[in-house]
Every structure is written in structure tokens, then in C-alpha cells.
């Protein structure tokens, strides 16, 4: 007996990136997020043809007649130009940033609040829109600040690449607004739009390389100071 599978579709986005394949519920989600309009082109895998979304019988009930669609729910009032202030997104073009908005969430963190603790499971990447945070560790009962994170900085990116524990606490030095990219949303991007995921992954790789260089240089500096202090101690 043959197993019947649901029809699948692909969307040609305004950013000239093909999204999909997804089944009908995926198309409905894109309409509600504002990523698809009645004039968007949709490819039907089963029929092997392109049609306008407004001509799909399955979508006529939810597409508004004059092209009105719901606004993206994950990034209220955020624009691509604002997103460009985040360093990891700075080199992505306007169309790519517009597409990325629907995967992001905005959250607020009160001053002195802890966003997450060392050892917790990593499930999202964050970028700082407003405010300031610090990454800290407790060593010998004392707090040690590892990094200070200001506007435009990104942290927690390893949660998108590997399943692991947080390596430090993140605490808000001031009231802060953050952009959150959940790991599940990142997986969705890689499945729906590899062409969008590619420049994003490249930007993350560059950021990780830069951070490793900075932290490596700092560790080397600390070791030099420690060695010098030991030498002085031995001389005395």
C-alpha cells in the first residue's frame, strides 16, 4: 500500500530567496507572519508549477482581498535598519534583514536581573538593542566579569550550533532590550531558507573568530602578568 503524503509548497520571497518545502500549515503561518502576500509566487511541488498565492484555493480564506496581511509577531515595530545596528547582521542586505525579522523575538531584562545562569541549557542567541549586560563567573566566592556586552553585541551564539550548557551567567548592568533568536527558529531558517542561513552563519563564524582572538590575547596577557609576578616573588 502506498503512503500518501501531504502536498508541499515553496515560496519565492521578496528577498529573492526560495523558502520551503513546507506543507499547507507552513504557508498559513507565513501569511500570518506577514511574509507572504496575495501577489507572492508559490511553487506547488506536486503540480510542478508557479502560481500567485491569491490563486491558491487553500489560502483564499485567510488572504485579505487588498493585500493586507498580519504584521510579523516576533519583531513588533523593529525595522531592518534597526537590525543593522547589531554587528552580526551589519553586512546583510535590506531584503535579507526583512526576512530575518520574522524569526526574532524582542525581550526586556530589568536592571540587575539574571538572564540565565552558568550550567543552564543553551536554547537561544541574544543581541543587545538597548542597555548593557555582563558575562560573569564566580571564582573563589568572588565575581569575575568576563565580558561587558553593549548595544550591537551578540552572545549565546553557541546555543545555535551545538547543544550545550551556558558557560557563564549573564546579568543586566542596566535596563536592557534584547533580540532573541531561539535555536528552534534557527533550525527553521536552515530548513526553510538555506540561502538566508548562509550569510548569517558566515557572520557568526567571523564573530566567534574575533571573540576567540580577543579572549586568547587577554588570557596570554594574564599569563604574562602572572609569570612576571612569580619572578618578582622568587627574586625576593
Give the max Cα distance, the chain.
87
Which is the CATH superfamily of the domain at 80-219? Jelly Rolls (2.60.120.10)
Quote the CA–CA distance of 159 and 141 in Å, as a whole number: 27
Quote the CA–CA distance of 143 and 18 in Å, as a whole number: 48
pTM here is 0.65
Say if residues 83 and 183 touch (Cβ distance below 8 Å).
no
Quote the CA–CA distance of 21 and 18 in Å, as a whole number: 9
Mean pLDDT by 10 residues, the chain (236 residues): 71 81 82 81 88 85 53 59 86 85 91 92 93 92 91 89 86 95 90 83 81 66 46 44
Domain boundaries, the chain: 9-59, 80-219
The tally of CA atoms less than 13 A away on the side-chain side of residue 70 is 13
Amino acid at each position: 500500500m502506498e503512503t500518501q503524503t501531504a502536498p508541499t509548497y515553496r515560496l519565492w520571497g521578496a528577498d529573492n530567496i526560495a523558502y520551503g518545502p513546507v506543507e499547507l500549515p507552513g504557508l498559513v503561518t507565513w501569511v500570518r507572519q506577514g511574509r507572504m502576500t496575495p501577489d507572492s509566487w508559490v511553487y506547488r511541488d506536486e503540480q510542478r508549477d508557479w502560481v500567485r498565492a491569491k490563486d491558491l484555493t487553500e489560502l483564499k480564506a485567510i488572504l485579505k482581498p487588498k493585500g493586507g496581511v498580519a504584521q510579523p509577531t516576533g519583531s513588533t515595530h523593529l525595522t531592518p535598519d534597526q537590525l543593522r545596528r547589531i554587528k552580526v547582521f551589519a553586512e546583510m542586505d535590506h531584503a535579507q534583514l526583512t526576512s530575518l525579522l520574522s524569526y526574532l523575538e524582542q525581550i526586556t531584562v530589568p536592571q540587575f536581573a539574571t538572564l540565565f545562569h552558568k550550567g543552564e541549557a543553551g536554547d537561544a542567541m541574544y543581541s543587545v538593542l538597548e542597555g548593557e549586560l555582563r558575562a560573569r563567573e564566580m571564582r573563589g566566592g568572588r565575581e569575575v566579569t568576563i565580558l561587558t556586552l553593549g548595544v550591537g553585541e551578540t552572545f549565546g551564539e553557541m546555543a545555535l550550533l551545538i547543544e550545550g550548557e551556558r558557560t557563564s551567567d549573564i546579568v543586566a548592568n542596566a535596563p536592557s532590550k534584547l533580540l532573541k533568536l531561539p535555536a528552534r527558529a534557527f533550525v527553521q531558517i536552515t530548513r526553510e531558507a538555506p540561502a538566508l542561513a548562509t550569510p548569517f552563519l558566515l557572520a557568526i563564524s567571523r564573530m566567534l573568530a574575533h571573540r576567540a582572538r580577543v579572549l586568547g590575547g587577554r588570557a596570554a596577557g594574564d599569563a604574562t602578568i602572572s609569570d612576571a609576578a612569580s619572578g618578582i616573588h622568587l627574586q625576593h
